[in-house]
Amino acid sequence: MNGLMMQKKLLISSLIVHADRHHGDTEIVSRRVEGDIHRYTFRDCHRRARQMANALTSLGVKPSDRIGTLAWNGYRHLELYYGVSGMGAILHTINPRLHEDQVAYIANHAEDQYIFFDLTFLPLIKAVAERCKTVKAFIAMTDYVHMPKDAGIDNLLCYEELIQQSSSDYSWPVLDEDAASTLCYTSGTTGNPKGVLYSHRSSMLHTYAAALPDALNCSARDVILPVVPMFHVNAWGLPYIACMVGAKLVFPGPALDGRSLYELLDAEQVTLSAGVPTVWQSLLSHVEETGQSFSSMRRTIIGGAACTPAMLCKFQETYGVAVLHAWGMTELSPMGTICTMKARHLKMSLEERHAVQSKQGRVVFGVDIKIVGQDGMELPWDGATSGDLLVRGPSVVCDYFRNEGESPLQFDGEGQAWFPTGDVATIDADGFMQITDRSKDVIKSGGEWIGSIDLENIAMAHPAVSQAACIAAKHAKWDERPLLIVVTKRQADLTREELLAFYEGKIAKWWTPDDVVFIDEIPLGATGKILKNQLRERYGDFLMQPAERRRVA
Ligand code: AMP
């Protein structure tokens, strides 16, 4: 027997309809590529998203066509989030920090019909345009006045002209909620990027769950500034969440340096922000150097890479900004776990609470996790045993887009499908998960695992260290030993011996890195993560050289 309730599909268009109807005058503020600050409301955004849907229809876009974007966080990108997915086409956000060959590969693999781009990315468009075989036109996300002259690109269209020419008279179609809405390629460090194809239903369920109080705790009283890019897993879902709850949105555009971010956070009275640790590092340095403080920011979501205890402590204890440590993946839409306290944690000492908060946290509703050993058997939730982390849920990938290979899923003894994350983690008795490593980054010394994240966290707590990465370096006796690679803070004076002495008493002695390499810059990937494979290529043999020759090298 079916329930006797209204049938209403879970569709992304319902978010902007709701935001318009119930929070119509709530603001969306964007720093534009053109340099100025733009302001309008959810009502305006909805009107222009409908105009865009009409424009796309006139351009011949059909349901399920892929529409690429190479764009910063801004209001026009938001209009495409709703205009493209809402009309039944698939928004394909491309990461502009990828190498041009990968961008061309992705656009061809996705068979993008049109690509929208911010002017910043004109050189990239020029470099790939001829290679993008399925693209009918490139659309510059600007007005007529700022259109590039003599760009040398066939079929170059102007975003604002398309909007101007199109009526706002448009009714969002009632789509199948399982229809694809959005496509995002993972920026793996090896092999070609793989496409994760979200559906309206998976995105909506993710939005409901991620907004909950024990997740990101978003409300109509919030002002949200997503630093995390809209080209990286939908800015962790914040553009959808803001519409669902009616929160004001602030978009930083291309200006992601500490000073520009601080200006916007302060001027717009932002209460919640989100980004990877490397971005927060530059914001914290700016605030420290200028002696400023945060006038309105109450919470910051830190994810994409481990938040160090040092950063957590600085945000919370020095600046009064609560840290929400989160873990996720492109394959998870992306939220997997978020570290919010249970009632019993509130009674803990500050130090104990910080230790809990350094974990990646407990699952958001809909996600289930487990850790398994090499035999695939589930391991205990004791907070100490680490194993391969598996996940499942309605917002978890079941196959990659046009994947010609094997299914990425793994089946357990009961025939249940799980997605192997490639992360290694512990889970404690309260269900708090802690990532100890990526499986390919684990350091195996004499057959025992050493977690590189722990070693990096300790190095990052040293006042002279700006960035640290720990890799497995080949070792004649132990197969692999930890090698620490460090960038020091400006004008800081730090020796190898001082840094290694800093580990004393903090970990088992045999975990202490064998050596330290000081470098000027740590290589970062397209989503701000440390490229450990590059470091391994460069320094993997470092410990095989005699100690006296290492310093010379
Ligand atoms: P991506 O799909 O590019 O978002 O990358 C997902 C990967 O980033 C995960 O599998 C983790 O290895 C890593 N990651 C994400 N969040 C965290 C976190 N809070 N701590 C440690 N690693 C993280």
Of the candidates 83, 11, 10, 77, the residue with the CA atom closest to the CA atom of residue 46 = 83
Whether residues 363 and 477 share a domain: the answer is no
- What are the structure tokens assigned to 471, written together? 């890799």
Residues 444, 448, 495, 510: which is the catalytic one? 444
Ligand 1 midpoint to CA 494 (Å)? 30
Ligand 1 midpoint to CA 438 (Å)? 9
Whether residues 77 and 120 share a domain: the answer is yes
pLDDT for 190 equals 61
Q: Decide if 262 is inside a domain.
A: yes
Q: Decide if 224 is inside a domain.
A: no
Residues flanking ligand 1, CB < 6 Å:
186-187, 233, 303-306, 325-330, 334, 360, 421-423, 435, 438, 527
CB 468 within 8 A of CB 306: no
In degrees rounded to 5, what are phi and psi of residue 343? -55, -40
Q: Hey, how many other C-beta atoms are within 10 angstroms of the C-beta on 290? A: 11
Mean confidence (pLDDT) of the chain: 95
Whether residues 429 and 522 share a domain: the answer is no
Whether residues 520 and 383 share a domain: the answer is no
Which residue CA neighbors atom 7 of ligand 1 most closely? 329
CB 526 within 8 A of CB 184: no
Q: Decide if 246 is inside a domain.
A: no
- What are the structure tokens assigned to 154, written together? 């066939």
pTM: 0.91
Q: Using 50, 70 and 90 to split pLDDT, how confident is the model at 449? A: confident
Residues above pLDDT 90, as percent of the chain: 85
Of the candidates 250, 242, 198, the residue with the CA atom closest to the CA atom of residue 16 = 242
Whole-angstrom CA distances from 123 to 116, 261, 527 are 14, 25, 20
Domain boundary among 200, 219, 238: 219
H/E run at residue 137: strand 137-140
Mean pLDDT of 71-94: 98
Whether residues 265 and 212 share a domain: the answer is no
Strand partners, 392: 368
Whether residues 270 and 167 share a domain: the answer is no
Whether residues 192 and 310 share a domain: the answer is no
**How many domains are there within the chain?**
3
Is residue 331 flagged as an active site residue?
Answer: yes
Which residue CA neighbors atom 8 of ligand 1 most closely? 304
What CATH number has the domain bearing residue 478? 3.30.300.30
Domain boundary among 174, 202, 219: 219
Whether residues 65 and 191 share a domain: the answer is yes
Is residue 186 flagged as an active site residue?
Answer: yes
pLDDT for 178 equals 98
pLDDT for 281 equals 87
* Number of the ligand 1 atom closest to the C-alpha atom of 421: 10
3-state SS of 434-458?
Answer: EEEEEHHHCEEECCEEECHHHHHHH
Residue 548's contacts (CB-CB under 8 Å, 6 or more residues apart) are none
CB 126 within 8 A of CB 104: no
- d(C-alpha 360, C-alpha 328), whole Å: 9
Q: Which of 323, 423, 437, 442 to mutate to test the pocket of ligand 1 (most atoms within 8 A of CB)?
A: 423
Is residue 342 flagged as an active site residue?
Answer: no
Q: Decide if 203 is inside a domain.
A: yes
Of the candidates 326, 394, 324, the residue with the CA atom closest to the CA atom of residue 366 = 394
Q: Decide if 232 is inside a domain.
A: no
Strand partners, 302: 275, 325
pLDDT at residue 188 is higher than 70: no
pLDDT tens figures, 504-529: 999 889 999 999 999 999 998 888 88
* Encoded amino acid at 146, one letter: H
pLDDT tens figures, 104-126: 999 999 999 999 999 999 999 99
What CATH number has the domain bearing residue 294? 3.40.50.12780
Rounded to 10°, the helix 13-23/42-58 angle is: 140
Residue 58's contacts (CB-CB under 8 Å, 6 or more residues apart) are 165, 166
Whether residues 425 and 476 share a domain: the answer is no
Q: Decide if 242 is inside a domain.
A: no
pLDDT at residue 148 is higher than 90: yes
CB 316 within 8 A of CB 284: no
Ligand 1 midpoint to CA 529 (Å)? 8
pLDDT at residue 552 is higher than 80: no
- d(C-alpha 321, C-alpha 92), whole Å: 34
112-117 vs 515-518, strand pairing mode: unpaired
pLDDT at residue 553 is higher than 70: no
Whether residues 197 and 331 share a domain: the answer is no
Whether residues 428 and 449 share a domain: the answer is no
* Number of the ligand 1 atom closest to the C-alpha atom of 438: 12
pLDDT for 189 equals 57
H/E run at residue 113: strand 112-117
pLDDT tens figures, 453-491: 989 999 999 999 999 999 999 998 888 999 999 999 988
Mean pLDDT of 256-269: 96
* Number of the ligand 1 atom closest to the C-alpha atom of 306: 20
pLDDT tens figures, 335-360: 999 999 999 999 999 999 999 999 99
pLDDT at residue 231 is higher than 90: yes
Q: Decide if 248 is inside a domain.
A: no
Domain range spanning residue 90? 13-20+31-219
Ligand 1 midpoint to CA 26 (Å)? 32
Whether residues 420 and 469 share a domain: the answer is no
Q: Which of 97, 230, 329 to mutate to test the pocket of ligand 1 (most atoms within 8 A of CB)?
A: 329
pLDDT tens figures, 293-340: 999 999 999 999 889 999 999 999 999 999 999 999 999 999 999 999
pLDDT for 547 equals 79
Q: Decide if 227 is inside a domain.
A: no
Of the candidates 310, 319, 317, the residue with the CA atom closest to the CA atom of residue 358 = 310
Mean pLDDT of 130-140: 97
